A and B are shown apart, each in its own frame.
Chain A
Amino acid sequence: MRRKMMTKKSFFIGLILWGLSQPLFAQESILKDFAEERNSSKYCLYPSTLRMLNLKNNEAYNDLATTFEKFLIYELDSVTTVERSYRKIMKSYRSEGFEEYVSVIGGGNEVLILGEEKRTNEMVGVFGQNGQIFVFYLLGNIAWQKIPTLVNTLAENDLINIFDINTNAWD
């Protein structure tokens, strides 16, 4: 009888934990499921990897990097870029309650940033220019207040530009 009660309790706790974790996984998976099969490059950044890009050890940058939990960036392949099917994914996020922060479209540019702060502190978006499209997913309680200090203190070449790394040379 006691064992049965323990099993029920464990199941109940497990169910609650699963329920709590659902928004996180569900929101990330919309983009991940789409972009995993349709990218030409993928970058997965965590606080430690973000700090590694900081060549001059800029303090404001490190402070900001610690507030990122996960930063996924995909450069979409040429077919997906032409099809613009990533726009449907952004629509899906809107229907999940993500709100628009900024959008720019036209003149060869495409920028869209959507955010969901109330439940999970997530952001997703699109950055496109000259026929190249990047989509991103960001999880974390971002310290926006650090950005002016970062902008004022960050100089050119202080950071490693991950998009300039020639990964083909590793093959």
Chain B
Amino acid sequence: MKKTTTFILTFMLALGALAQGEVVSKYFDRFADNEDFVKASISAKMFSLFTELEAGSDEEKEFLKAVSKLKGMKILYGDSVANSKKLYSEGISDVKKAGFEELMTVLDAEENFHFAIKEKSGIISELILVSGGKKGFSVLSLYGEIDLKNISKIARSMQLDGLSNLEKMDEKKNDD
């Protein structure tokens, strides 16, 4: 009985790990042969290398602390996409279908951003950002153990423009 329970738990955990980044993976498959889209992924192995780095400044220490709990990142983006608005709407719909909870939406004249998370027992296991503009479209997934306070720091260090919009959440809180 104990063996069966352990097996089922292990199996479920493995499935959970496989499921991470699945929304972006779907777009990776869809645009696999399309050179207009850049598909990038950073694995847990790479993030584990970051933890070996010697931090010099306080900013570097904060960055390394923030990435140490991440397990992976996947990004798909294209800056010259014909049907970007349609893709953006599809992206939001896919994120909802996959059981993500909306965190924040930023509507801008140039580009819209939709942030969503997967959370269990107060721990965010995946953050998804879908963005779409007049010509551009991107989907980004960050998974592992995520602390939202640190994400904008990672975004700044890695020059991920869209994610820096999360700083607006803090600004909004301060205004309230």
- Residues of A near any B CB (own CB < 8 A): 99-109, 113, 115, 144-149, 152
Contact = CB atoms under 8 A, between A and B. Distances in A.
B38 A145 contact: no
Nearest to A143: B52
Contact of B38 (A100, A105, A113): A105
Interface of A is mostly: strand
23 contacts: A100-B41, A101-B42, A101-B43, A101-B49, A102-B40, A102-B43, A102-B46, A103-B41, A104-B38, A105-B40, A106-B31, A106-B35, A106-B37, A106-B78, A107-B36, A109-B38, A144-B49, A145-B53, A148-B53, A148-B55, A148-B60, A149-B56, A152-B56
Given A104-B38, A104-B39, A106-B38, A145 B54 contact: yes
Interface string B7-46: 0000000000000000000000001001111111111011
Given A99-B43, A104-B40, A145 B52 contact: yes
B54 A149 contact: yes
B35 A107 contact: yes
A104 B46 CA distance: 13
Contacts of B38: 104-107, 109
Contact of A100 (B45, B54, B60): B45
A101 B45 contact: yes
B39 A144 contact: no
B58 to A, nearest CB: 13
Contacts of A100: 41, 43, 45
How big is chain B's contact interface, by range?
Answer: 20 to 34
A101 B36 CA distance: 23
A119 to B, nearest CB: 15
Nearest to A144: B52
Given A107-B35, A108-B35, A102 B41 contact: yes
A103 B40 contact: yes
Nearest to B42: A102
Given A100-B43, A103-B40, A103-B41, A147 B53 contact: yes
Contacts of B34: 106
Nearest to B37: A106
A101 B47 CA distance: 8
Contacts of B43: 99-102
B144 to A, nearest CB: 15
A91 to B, nearest CB: 15
A100 B52 CA distance: 18
Contacts of A113: 46
A107 B46 contact: no
A152 B53 CA distance: 13
A149 B43 CA distance: 24
A103 B55 CA distance: 25
Given A145-B53, A146-B54, 20 more contacts: A99-B43, A99-B45, A100-B41, A100-B43, A100-B45, A101-B46, A101-B49, A102-B40, A102-B41, A103-B39, A103-B40, A104-B41, A106-B35, A106-B37, A106-B38, A107-B36, A108-B35, A144-B49, A148-B60, A152-B56
